Structure 1
Amino acid sequence: MASRSRRRAFSIPGTYLSVAWLCALLTLPPGGPALAGEAAAATAPVTGLRPYTATYRTSASGMDLTLTRQLRSSDDGSYTLTNGGKILVFGFHEVSVFRVEGTTVLPGTYVYQGSGLINRRREVHFAPGSDTIRSLYKDRWYDLPNSDKTLDRMSQQEQLRLLLLNAANPRRDLTLRVADGKRVKDYQLLFVGDEVLDTPLGEIPTLHFQRLHDDPERESDIWLAPGWDYLMVKTVHVEDDRPVEVMLTSASIDGVPVTAD
């Protein structure tokens, strides 16, 4: 990686926020996204998501953190995605409730709550048929423009997986959109290549994507496992010369533990 000048000292809060950013945002985006130059679907479209539980490990500045993410389905057809972890006196928990219509995720509500020394709360609310999204950021409400391509920071992750599950060729660049804070942001994910990762579960075939940033001193990468419904296996975020890595340590899909075999 290219060397960077350090703009500020690394701190525990900085570590925490980098981890939270990775886990909430990096498994990245959009609401009605499409493969760049291609909107291909498999012959038999995948119109649902299998429930899963995944545990991740991360370490930064000498501190370890275990993260747990879980997707559950309900009898009414809705899905609930939760994610959270705690390190020393910092913690966070977030939840997204959404529905799936065909191959499109329809977001409903997103809530992020920090705990301990970083007691921050974010909310994003989508109303069917409305042209605005309500977003709470730093104790202030914002009205953001809505479109069928906009999701929250968590439901974006499941839309990405559903998109890739239905792509005739998932090895393409992606354009994604997400409502975050006081803005709706478009992201670009560049397909880097196929990679076999050495993980606590063994060697896992993955697809590697890299997110473009406006700030050249920031880098974000994600690795997804096609054999596990494109479950996130690894993410790496680099800022101020400091990498924060999140690695999958265990997972089950539909109640069945995943293995490298």
Structure 2
Amino acid sequence: MQTFKETSLSIGQRVVLAINLFLFSLYVAAAPSPLSPQTAEYQVNYGSIELGKARFQLPKPEGNLYHYRFDSDVSLLVLSDRRNVRSDFIREGDQLIPMRYIHNRKGTGPSFQEQAAFAREQEVVHTRYKDERSTLDYTDILYDPLMAQLQFRLDMAQGKKEFHYAMVKEGEVDEYSFRVIGKERMNIESGSYETIKIEVVRDSKKRQTFFWMAPDLGYLPVRVTHFERGSKQLDIKLLSYYFSPEQTVKADELASELTVQP
């Protein structure tokens, strides 16, 4: 004997219900991509001494124009350092193209501003660092120091093991190389993360820098540690993060083909 609930549903309603349940089962919360809108906050330590905090913010792009921001406020005794950095760039596939970079520093000692405007079509970069202006050749792939972090994460997502970036920094073009060391579980105050460990490639071992990046968080760095002559100098750890919700629907093309027998 059928229940009232079953008999009260028409064949059409059953079909709709079945399709909705099927679609619901195929809605998959996608892992965030490196360019998902996001905010990440970090604790900055000098050895075991807490210096302050830093925050990265990547809001939703305006069309294809992205704005990435970094803000930090650290201090030690009477010394202070406050920085506000902004990078504007566009995306072409998995390649990021810099547009403008602004870096303001205030605190103990001289304050300064650094700017770079990337004119790719004219093959030049106009820079100003402190009071010095210069024009650099733009004939290859270049980055600014902030958006290079996102390119790094995009390249990680592509499965690369070695990385090389030319960055416009302080009125010059500097070359940086990185390599994957391996996988490692990272346990810090904010949680336990499966990470990929990265090393900055240098000729000398007097200075060493390591990154731990979490694939499940769009390769967000969860820890950065810097050593000078074997002694830990800086230790930066993820405190909190937020990604705007994103969902991937895999059932759109299947819905029209779905049939339910009465």
Q: What's the TM-score once normalised by structure 2's chain length?
A: 0.73
Shift of 1:209: 0.8
Shift of 1:221: 1.1
Question: 3-state DSSP class of the match of 1:162?
Answer: helix
Structure 2 unaligned spans of 5+: 1-31, 247-262
Instruction: Name 1:40's counterpart in structure 2.
Output: none
Instruction: Name 2:168's counterpart in structure 1.
Output: 179
Instruction: Name 1:244's counterpart in structure 2.
Output: 234
Equivalent residues in 2 for 1:56-71 (5 A)?
A: 56-60=42-46, 62-71=49-58
Instruction: Name 2:259's counterpart in structure 1.
Output: none
Shift of 1:48: 7.9
Deviation per CA, 1:111-148: give whole Å up to 9, x if none. Answer: 11011224121111101312221222231012222134
> In 1, Cα distance between the equivalents of 2:42 and 2:55?
6
1:49 corresponds to which of 35, 46, 49: 35
Equivalent residues in 2 for 1:1-261 (5 A)?
A: 49-60=35-46, 62-88=49-75, 89-118=80-109, 119-165=111-157, 167=158, 169-170=159-160, 172-239=161-228, 241-254=231-244
Cα 1:47–1:130 change in 2 (3 A) is farther
Cα 1:47–1:225 change in 2 (3 A) is closer
Tell me the amino acid that sits aligned with residue 64 of structure 2: G
Shift of 1:52: 0.4
Tell me the amino acid that sits aligned with residue 105 of structure 1: L
Q: Is the 8 A contact 1:52 1:255 kept in 2?
A: no
Question: 3-state DSSP class of the match of 1:130?
Answer: coil
Tell me the amino acid that sits aligned with residue 176 of structure 2: Y
Q: Is the 8 A contact 2:42 2:238 kept in 1?
A: yes
Cα 1:123–1:231 change in 2 (3 A) is same
Deviation per CA, 1:185-237: give whole Å up to 9, x if none. Answer: 22211211101100223210111111123454211111111111111111112
Shift of 1:47: 9.3
Structure 1 stretches of at least 4 aligned residues deviating more than 6 Å after TM superposition: none
Q: Is the 8 A contact 1:82 1:94 kept in 2?
A: yes
Question: 3-state DSSP class of the match of 2:235?
Answer: strand
Overall identity of the aligned pairs, in %: 22
- Greater Rg over alpha carbons, structure: 2
Deviation per CA, 1:21-47: give whole Å up to 9, x if none. Answer: xxxxxxxxxxxxxxxxxxxxxxxxx99
Structure with greater contact order relative to length (CA < 8 Å, sep ≥ 6): 1
Question: 3-state DSSP class of the match of 1:73?
Answer: coil
> In 1, Cα distance between the equivalents of 2:39 and 2:212?
17
Q: Is the 8 A contact 1:225 1:232 kept in 2?
A: yes
Q: Is the 8 A contact 2:99 2:118 kept in 1?
A: yes
> In 2, Cα distance between the equivalents of 1:47 and 1:190?
21
Tell me the amino acid that sits aligned with residue 247 of structure 1: K
> In 1, Cα distance between the equivalents of 2:135 and 2:74?
33
Deviation per CA, 1:25-80: give whole Å up to 9, x if none. Answer: xxxxxxxxxxxxxxxxxxxxx99821100000011163431111101123332111
